[in-house]
Amino acid sequence: MKPQTTVIPQLAAYNSAEVAPIASFGVAPAVGAGPETVARERRLREMVDAYLGFVARVLRNAGTPEAEIDDEVQRAFITAARRLDDIRPGAEKAFLFRIALNLAAHARRTAARRREVPADQTPERVESLATPEQLTDRKRMRMLLDRVLDEMHETLRAVFVLYEFEEMNMSEIAGVLNIPRGTVASRLRRARAEFRERVRGLEDGEARGNS
């Protein structure tokens, strides 16, 4: 596990957050199914077993509203089931990661359009020992994070999420995304610089608005 090196300290709260319980994605071979069908369903079952928690964490850390994570996890694996033949053996994690990022982006845009449910009122798990001030600060940081990630180019966002939240090293990210390690390093530098710049801009805007 690499040392914690989040761009801003508040991001550590999302790295340590537990994945909420998620209903099992049912995969069972059909009665009388042929060997090919059984093999496909076994492969999908193995993907669910191996990457269910990973997909849920990516969705959460990429800004999916907490109440929608269960449904989005289901959608990710439904997509995997439909496109199973397109997934190269060994590339299952990378495929699910890209699907989860796309679903999270869609979920953020949908939430932003729901005027009757403002973004700052999306459900959050309440920790019994957290003070109102801490909860308010976490909501504020969640909103800042969501806005920054939504504006970041997908190639930078992918590397940023895997490094900052999944705590993968450069080689692991290169393997998941199927890109050279040097490209990972370059994208991560750009993503971290962009993240800092955008957060500063948003915080300066808030400060001017409160003055």
Please report, for the chain, the start and end positions of each structural domain, with discontinuous segments joined by +: 16-129, 152-211
Note the pLDDT of residue 37: 81
pTM value?
Answer: 0.66
Say which residues have a Cβ less than 8 Å from residue 136's Cβ, sequence separation at least 6.
none
Please say whether the beta carbons of 137 and 9 come within 8 A: no
Please say whether the beta carbons of 202 and 167 come within 8 A: no
Nearest to 159 by CA among 191, 131, 121, 130: 191
Please say whether the beta carbons of 110 and 67 come within 8 A: no
pLDDT tens profile 86-122:
999 988 999 999 999 889 888 877 876 763 444 444 4
Nearest to 96 by CA among 37, 152, 56: 56
Distance of CA 20 to the CA centre of its chain: 14
- CATH fold of the domain at 152-211: Arc Repressor Mutant, subunit A (1.10.10)
Low-confidence ranges of the chain (pLDDT < 70): 1-33, 112, 114-140, 205-211
Output the CATH code of domain 16-129. 1.10.1740.10
Nearest to 94 by CA among 11, 179, 19, 165: 179
Note the pLDDT of residue 73: 93
Note the pLDDT of residue 22: 44
b (16+ CB within 10 A) / e for 143-181: bbbbbbbeebeeebbbbbbbbbbbebebebbbbbbebee
How many percent of the chain have pLDDT more than 90?
30
